Amino acid sequence: MWAIDERHQSLYWFPRDCPRVTVWPRPNGDPRVFNRVFDTTAPRLHALEAVWFDRFAAATIHRYELPTASFRPWAEATGQWVSGEAVEPLGCESLNDLADRHGEAGIELRTLPSLWGLVDIVTDPAHADDWDFSMVRLANAVPRLSR
């Protein structure tokens, strides 16, 4: 079983198969570098492709509250937890108005024609110590154009 902590849950405020790139400054990084490179004053930046926006706007997702006793941190990803046993949810909350949810959390949400330019910036080794990022479902993204 897999779970995400509250601090990272916004990574999943998207329809299930929606490709997205999310990025935020590392705790000991310089937020001014993040702000300059991504031209934002927000503490986080999330992006999805324009072709997904209607599905994003219409989506309802579900947030499950899980008992924590059997979960341990997953070493491969900050904020993610795993359990070797099945657990029963303590509750379920339906979430809609995902764009509003981003805004209320102070997250800048961008709609882009393609995510690939942002992928290149986010994964630039020169900034490996400046920010953390998540890239989900890129196999569903519009194809990358030849460089």
Q: Is residue 30 part of a domain?
A: yes
More confident call, 147 vs 38: 38
Q: Could you give the CA distance from residue 81 to residue 1 in angstroms, rounded to a whole number?
A: 8
Q: Is residue 96 part of a domain?
A: yes
The string of pLDDT tens digits covering residues 7-33 is: 899 999 999 999 999 999 998 888 999
Q: Is residue 146 part of a domain?
A: no
For the chain, how many structural domains are there in total?
A: 1
Q: Is residue 110 part of a domain?
A: yes
The string of pLDDT tens digits covering residues 85-139 is: 999 999 999 999 999 999 999 999 999 999 999 999 999 999 989 999 999 999 9
Q: Is residue 147 part of a domain?
A: no
Q: Is residue 33 part of a domain?
A: yes
Across residues 44-73, what is the average pLDDT? 96
For residue 35, give its domain range. 2-140
Q: Is residue 145 part of a domain?
A: no
Q: Is residue 51 part of a domain?
A: yes
Mention every residue, 6+ apart, whose C-beta is less than 8 A from residue 88. Answer: 67
